[in-house]
Amino acid sequence: MSTHDISITVNGKMHKRNVDSRLHLADFLRQELGLTGTHIGCEHGVCGACTVLVDGATARACLMLAVQADGRRIETIEGVAAADGPLHPIQAALSRHHGLQCGYCTPGVVMTLLELQRECGGEPVTEADIRRALSGNLCRCTGYQGMVDAALEILPGAHTKA
């Protein structure tokens, strides 16, 4: 079994570890750093529960090895809002619009909507854009409409016409 020294910035904090070459980023975050908000669902990259931001872009932490994240900047759900502070506007909107139920998919959904918010850069988005962004996040509870309504509320210029 081979190991590698890695340096990863997670939620603004640098972490240096020696890790097994085969350790997935999701397992590194959960086991090495105790950041259990990154959920592991299907372990095939299909469900989106493990979605994190890597250098600002969404990535499936169950498909990425920790060694591939060496030198990269990772953002997890724990870094979205301070534990003792208010919710991020995306989180608050999801709550207001009942865009979450059991919560298993919620961290991945939040990270996906955060990427969409950053990508749109204030430009208008449509409901179709939002649904396309969320298409990689499986949810068995909400039916997605609450998530879409939350995104329509918070994204600049969002509207329902395609």
Whether 72 and 96 map to the same domain: the answer is: no
Q: What is the pTM of this model?
A: 0.93
| Residue-range definition of the domain harbouring residue 44 | 3-79
Let me know: does 106 contact 162? Beta carbons within 8 Å: no
pLDDT at 162 over 60: no
Whether 12 and 75 map to the same domain: the answer is: yes
Q: At which of 52, 79, 106 does a domain end?
A: 79
**E strand spans, the chain:** 3-10, 13-20, 51-54, 57-60, 73-75
CA atoms of 130 and 159, how far apart (whole Å): 10
The CATH number given to whatever domain includes residue 41 is 3.10.20.30
Whether 144 and 105 map to the same domain: the answer is: yes
User: Per the domain annotation, does 54 fall within a domain?
Assistant: yes
Phi, psi at residue 108, to the nearest 5°? Answer: -65, -40
Q: What is the pLDDT of residues 50-64, one digit of tens each?
A: 999 999 999 999 999
Q: At which of 55, 79, 103 does a domain end?
A: 79
Instruction: Give the pLDDT score at 1.
Output: 79
CA atoms of 131 and 149, how far apart (whole Å): 10
pLDDT at 2 over 90: yes
Whether 18 and 56 map to the same domain: the answer is: yes
User: Per the domain annotation, does 20 fall within a domain?
Assistant: yes
Percentage of residues in the chain having pLDDT higher than 90: 89
The CATH number given to whatever domain includes residue 123 is 1.10.150.120
**What would the two tokens of residue 132 be?**
């396309």
Whether 25 and 75 map to the same domain: the answer is: yes
Q: What is the pLDDT of residues 137-152, one digit of tens each?
A: 999 998 899 999 999 9
